[in-house]
Every structure is written in C-alpha cells, then in structure tokens.
C-alpha cells in the first residue's frame, strides 16, 4: 500500500493540471475519448470548448505530443506569445481581424524557424527569405534551403518530415486568460476566431487547435452573428460520471502496474471499478454518518460531488489522501474524505467566483446569498427549488444587492437564473418514473431560457453546499439524494 506523502499522491493520482504533469506519466494515464479522436482529425480548425477543469489543456497537450511523435511540425502558442498583438482602441472588427492575422503569422513563422534551428527571438524573425509570399510557402522554402545547405544545428529529421508532410499544426491554449466578459473582450475574441478562419481558408496546410472556456464561447457566439461559421469546428469536452470514474481508475491501475487496459476499465460497471481498482487506495464503502450516503459505495459519494469535471475527482483524492497521511493510514477512509468536504466546497465556490467575476463582478454576493435561510433550513428541500421559488429568492437577492453584468446585459431574476445554470452552480432536475434526471447547461442550454418555462426544478450543486452551510456537515449530507 502507498504512503500518502505529497510526492506519492502526485504520482498516484496525477497532477491537477496537465501543464504541470511529467510527460511520460501523463502519456501513461491519459484517457483517449471521443473528443480526442475528433481533435486529431485532419480538419483545418478544431476548437475544444468546456468549463475549467474538464481537461481542455490535457487533451490539447496529448494531441500536441501525438503530432510531435510523428514528426509533424507542431507549434504551441500561449498567452505570453500573443501579448501586444491587438489594441482594440478605436479599431473596427475588420481592423482587429487583420491585426490578429498579421500577429499570428509572425509568431508561427518565428516558432517554426526556432523548431528547425534553435534560433529564437529576433534571429528567427529576421531569417532570410521569409518576408514575402504565403506563410506556409515561406516556411517550406526556408526548411528546404536549410536541408540543401546542410545548415549547422538544423533539426534535419523534423525539417525533412515537414517538407514531406506539408503541414503545420498550431496549438493555442489559454487564449481567454485575462478574459473580462466586456464588449471589448468579446469583440477581440471574435476577431481572433475570424482571423483563424480566414487564415485557414487562405493556408490549407496550416491547422489550428484551440481551447476555450464555455462561458467565453457562449458570449462570443451569442454576440457575433459571424460566429455561426465556426460552430461546426467546435468540440464539446463533455464527461459522464462513468467517464470520470474511469479517469481516476486508469491513474490508479497504471500506478500499480495492473494489467487492465482503458477499454477493459470503460466496460466495467462502477461497482466493479470500486471493488477491483479504487479499493487499492480508498475504502469501498462510505461507512460514516447517516442519511442518503450511509453505507453507499464510495463512488456514489465521490461522483455526487463532481461537477462533471475530472479535476474535481482528482482534488477529492488529493485532499482525502493528505488527511490519511496525517493520520498515518495506508488507506483512505470515509472519515478522511468527510474531513475534506468543507474545504473542497469552499475551493469550488472560490473557483466559480474567480472564473466568472469577469462577467458578473459581484458574483460572490449572488452565490453566497443563495444559502438557505433559517426557514428554508427547516424544510426538507433547502437546496431545491421550483422555478417560482428560485425566482422569488433571486428577486429578494436583487433587492438587497447591487448586481450588474459586465457586458451591459440587464439584471433580472430570470437572467440570474440563466447565469447560475450556465456556471453549473445550479442544475436542472426532474423526477421521471421515480428516477431523478439532472441536466447541466452544456447538455441543454435552453432549460433556463428567460422566455419559456420547460417545467424543470432546480438545485444547488452539492459541491457548493458546505461553503454555504459550513456549520453542519451532516445536515448538508441529509440534503443530498
């Protein structure tokens, strides 16, 4: 059994973000899903869209590694690479598009030359023979010249493969860093997407792979009519609870060198995954407390707290493992997990405040005021609402707070319900034949439509409830089903 020190926790469950992960370990446990399959298709533009924590950076990183492994010319652009490209002051959308195209061309050329020769900065930008003609042809001619002249320090294998394959793959991650959800930011992001589309049409040998947060995509998509032309390029990075459990199981099996393939794990039932894999590191039953979770399989508890984001489950394992280490336990117990609930909930609430304050600056007041009142705490469904009751609660919040959307959208009870649904603070729910069906915004975006009531109820996601009611862990558990 492992000793849950920090180094072991990192190797066992993986880093919480792909950028920080050791490449070999990352390749070992990466789960190949349909989104990844669609990302690496031979199509000019692929835009991976999803909330923070769903694995956009991970899937882009794995595709980038895939291209490198087959000697494709793959270039990775990050926010620091594009600093200074655009200045939206007094510029039309067309001027911004041209600024993006010019800037991206310059960066791609410099990074390509750096990949071939190791030269960077001014030396790469000033390479001879790269100042006229189409971007791809300039780079191809330069690579051919390097090979003919047998230039020193040239990466011959990469240059030869590039000349033969005739493709450049440009990866762009975290382009929404510093996003403000203002009209200026929306206009600029729209210009970036249009620039990429224009470049792709002009340069069929250059392929673009981009990651965008879902809130950024939706604001741009609903503000700019031209973005209907990029909709076909979008890949929604979506996970079921079973998928997320398989992500964690795959990390555990590869750590212990268990002879189980990803395909075998995916075909297993969740109970089997718990007994055969998770039980290596965590007790298979939630054997503390009472209520809905009493003596339930541990995966029921873990998945109830995940917001359909793999990172959430990894954070739960990290937190509970640290508690187990403090108690000198070589197995994570349910009591260790329980001790992490409040902190986990506070961090997830802070996540959405950080992520969406650019759109609603006073989001903290909104979500904290969604905590149950004393009267609601006495009710059995303190975190569940009909549409009428949640609109009434939001009406009261609007009356005692000062809320405004950064892009000028009007603040009403219905616009706030739509916002809370979009950020996954509340989920839609309906009981069908004794079974509760839940929907997230990415699954069905119109359920919180301001004009139509589709007959769904609403509930605050369990991940946030301890942050709203920190005084009683068990009382929050009793609110769960």
Question: CA triplet 308, 309, 315: central angle to 5 degrees?
Answer: 125
Half-sphere exposure (CA, 13 Å, Cβ side) for 420?
Answer: 29
Q: Is 166 exposed, middle or buried (0-12, 13-18, 19+ CB in 10 A)?
A: exposed
Q: Where are the alpha helices (DSSP H) in 70-175?
A: 79-82, 93-117, 122-125, 135-149, 156-165
The token pair that represents 325 in the structure block: 């280490």
Among 36, 63, 37, which Cα is nearest to 171's? 63
3-state secondary structure of 2: coil
Among 409, 393, 308, which Cα is nearest to 360's? 409
Q: Are 28 and 15 in contact (CB under 8 A)?
A: no
The token pair that represents 400 in the structure block: 């005692």
- Tell me, rounded to whole angstroms, the distance of Cα 461 from its chain centroid: 18
pLDDT tens string, the chain, 481 residues long: the values are: 779 999 999 999 998 887 788 899 999 999 999 999 999 999 999 999 998 889 999 999 999 999 999 999 999 998 888 877 766 666 788 989 999 999 999 899 999 999 998 876 555 555 555 566 789 999 999 899 889 988 877 888 999 999 999 999 999 998 887 778 788 888 888 999 999 999 999 999 999 999 999 888 988 888 877 777 888 999 999 899 999 999 999 999 999 999 999 999 999 999 999 999 999 999 999 988 667 788 899 999 999 999 999 999 999 999 999 999 999 999 999 999 999 999 999 999 999 999 899 899 999 999 999 998 777 766 556 789 999 999 999 999 999 888 999 888 889 999 999 999 999 999 999 888 878 888 888 888 777 776 567 788 999 999 999 999 876 666 777 666 6
The token pair that represents 54 in the structure block: 């769903």
The token pair that represents 80 in the structure block: 């620091």
The pTM (predicted TM-score) of the whole model is: 0.88
31-236: CATH topology is Rossmann fold (3.40.50)
Residue 374: predicted pLDDT: 73
Residue 380: predicted pLDDT: 53
Residues 229, 408, 91, 213: is their CA dihedral positive or negative?
negative
The token pair that represents 252 in the structure block: 């555990």
DSSP 3-state percent helix, strand, coil across the chain (nearest 5)? 55, 10, 35
The token pair that represents 441 in the structure block: 């915004």
Residue 448: predicted pLDDT: 74
The token pair that represents 276 in the structure block: 């055969």
Residue 120: predicted pLDDT: 67
**CB-based contacts of 197, cutoff 8 Å, min separation 6:** 45, 229, 230
- Taking the C-alpha atoms of residue 99 and residue 93, their distance in angstroms, rounded to an integer, is 10
- Taking the C-alpha atoms of residue 75 and residue 240, their distance in angstroms, rounded to an integer, is 31
Q: Where are the domains of the chain?
A: 31-236, 241-339, 352-478
- Taking the C-alpha atoms of residue 10 and residue 314, their distance in angstroms, rounded to an integer, is 10
Name the residue with tokens 């075909």. 267
Residue 455: predicted pLDDT: 81
């Amino acid at each position: 059994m492992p000793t849950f020190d920090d180094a072991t926790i990192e190797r066992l469950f993986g880093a919480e973000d792909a950028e920080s992960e050791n490449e070999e370990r990352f390749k070992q446990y990466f789960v190949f899903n349909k989104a990844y399959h669609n990302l690496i298709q031979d199509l000019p533009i692929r835009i991976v869209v999803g909330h923070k924590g769903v694995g956009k950076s991970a899937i882009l990183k794995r595709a980038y590694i895939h291209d490198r492994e087959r000697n494709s010319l793959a270039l990775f652009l990050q926010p620091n690479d594009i600093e200074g490209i655009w200045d939206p002051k007094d510029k039309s959308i067309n001027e911004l598009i041209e600024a993006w195209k010019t800037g991206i061309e310059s960066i791609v050329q410099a990074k390509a030359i750096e990949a071939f020769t190791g030269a960077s900065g001014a030396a790469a930008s000033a390479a001879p023979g790269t100042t006229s003609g189409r971007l791809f042809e300039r780079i191809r001619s330069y690579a051919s010249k390097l090979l003919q002249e047998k230039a020193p320090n040239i990466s011959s294998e990469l240059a030869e493969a590039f000349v033969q394959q005739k493709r450049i793959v440009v990866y762009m991650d975290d382009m929404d860093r510093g996003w403000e959800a203002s009209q200026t930011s929306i206009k600029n992001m729209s210009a970036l997407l249009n620039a990429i589309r224009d470049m792709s049409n002009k340069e069929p040998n250059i392929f673009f792979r981009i990651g965008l947060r879902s809130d950024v995509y939706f604001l741009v998509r609903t503000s700019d009519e031209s973005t209907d032309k990029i909709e076909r390029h979008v890949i929604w990075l979506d996970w079921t609870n079973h998928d997320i459990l398989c992500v964690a199981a795959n990390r555990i099996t590869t750590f212990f060198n268990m002879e189980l393939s990803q395909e075998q794990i995916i075909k297993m039932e969740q109970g089997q995954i718990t007994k055969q894999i998770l039980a290596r590191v965590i007790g298979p039953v939630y054997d503390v407390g009472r209520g809905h979770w009493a003596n339930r399989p541990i995966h029921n508890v873990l998945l109830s707290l995940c917001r359909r984001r793999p990172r959430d489950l990894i954070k739960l394992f990290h937190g509970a493992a640290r508690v187990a280490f403090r108690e000198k336990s070589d197995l994570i117990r349910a009591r260790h997990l329980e001790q992490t609930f409040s902190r986990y909930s506070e961090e997830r609430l802070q996540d959405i405040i950080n992520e969406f304050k650019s759109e609603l600056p006073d989001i903290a007041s909104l979500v904290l005021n969604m905590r149950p009142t004393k009267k609601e705490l006495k009710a059995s469904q303190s975190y569940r609402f009909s549409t009428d009751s949640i609109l009434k609660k939001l009406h009261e919040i609007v009356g005692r707070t000062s809320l405004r959307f950064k892009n000028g959208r009007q603040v009403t009870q219905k616009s706030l319900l739509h916002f809370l649904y979009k950020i996954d603070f509340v989920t839609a729910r309906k009981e069908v034949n004794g079974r509760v069906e839940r929907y997230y915004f990415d699954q069905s975006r119109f359920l919180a439509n301001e004009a139509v009531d589709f007959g769904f109820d609403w509930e605050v996601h369990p991940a946030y409830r301890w942050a709203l009611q920190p005084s009683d862990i068990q009382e929050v558990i009793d609110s769960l089903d």
